[in-house]
């Protein structure tokens, strides 16, 4: 099993979710996060005083999937999240040792 993690722009979340549903992904977890990459932050002005805001709000999407579909999931996320502008985010894949469904105690692929 693989854990696909994507940090994306907040407004593409809907597209990413739809793309994953189309692939048959049954669940995902979404978190609001802040950070910076090459996009850096932005500036805000309050009564003429300029502040540099270093961290940009992003959304982190996590999906646990079977090894066989991981590559397709990554491609779907990348396609749905791409605007072509700086700050589109990153997607990475890590291995998952164990997954347990809390309600039933099922393990491994059955728990996904």
Partner 1 sequence: MINTGDTAWVLAGAALVMLMTPGLAFFYGGMVRSKSVLNMLMMNFICLAIIGVLWTLYGYSWAFGNDAFGGLVGGDEFAGLGKTIGHMVGAAASGPPPVPWPGPDALPALAFVMFQLMFAVITPALISGAIADRTKFLSWALFVILWATIVYFPVAHWVFSFDGFTGVNSHGGWIANTLKAEDFAGGTAVHINAGSAGFALALVLGRRKGWPRDHIRPHNLPFVLLGASLLWFGWYGFNAGSALSASDLAGVAFTNTTVATCSAVLGWLLVEQLRDGKPTTLGAASGAVAGLVAITPACGFVSPLGGIAIGLIAGAVCALSVSVKYKFGFDDSLDVVGVHLVGGLIGTLLIGFFGTKNVNPAALGDDGLFYGGGLTQLGRQAIAAFAVMGYSFLVALVIGMVIKHTIGFRVDPEEETSGIDEAEHAESGYDFSALGAMATSGLAHYNLGGADKVGAATSSTGAKED
Structure tokens at 92: 């990475």
Per CB under 8 A, the list member of 49, 68, 86, 102 interacting with partner 1 is 49
Closest separation in Å from C-beta 32 to partner 1: 12
Q: Rule CB under 8 A: say whether 102 interacts with partner 1.
A: no
Query: Residue 62's Cα: distance from chain center in Å?
Result: 5
Q: Which is nearer to partner 1, 48 or 105 (CB)?
A: 48
Q: Rule CB under 8 A: say whether 46 interacts with partner 1.
A: yes
Per CB under 8 A, the list member of 10, 11, 40, 53 interacting with partner 1 is 53
Q: Rule CB under 8 A: say whether 47 interacts with partner 1.
A: yes
Pairing of strands 56-65, 29-35: antiparallel
List CB contacts of 106: < 8 A, sequence separation 6 or more.
100
CB 4 within 8 A of CB 93: yes
Which residue ranges make up the site for partner 1 (CB under 8 A)? 44-51, 53
């Amino acid at each position: 099993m693989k854990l696909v993690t994507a940090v994306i722009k907040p407004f593409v979340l809907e597209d990413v979710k739809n793309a994953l549903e189309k692939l048959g992904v049954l669940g995902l977890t979404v978190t609001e996060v802040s950070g910076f990459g090459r996009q850096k932050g932005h500036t805000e002005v309050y009564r003429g005083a300029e502040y540099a805001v270093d961290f940009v709000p992003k959304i982190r999407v996590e999906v646990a999937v079977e090894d066989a579909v991981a590559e397709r999931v990554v491609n779907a996320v990348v396609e749905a999240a791409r605007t072509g502008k700086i700050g589109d985010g990153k997607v990475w894949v890590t291995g998952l040792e164990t997954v347990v469904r809390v309600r039933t105690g099922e393990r491994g692929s059955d728990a996904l």
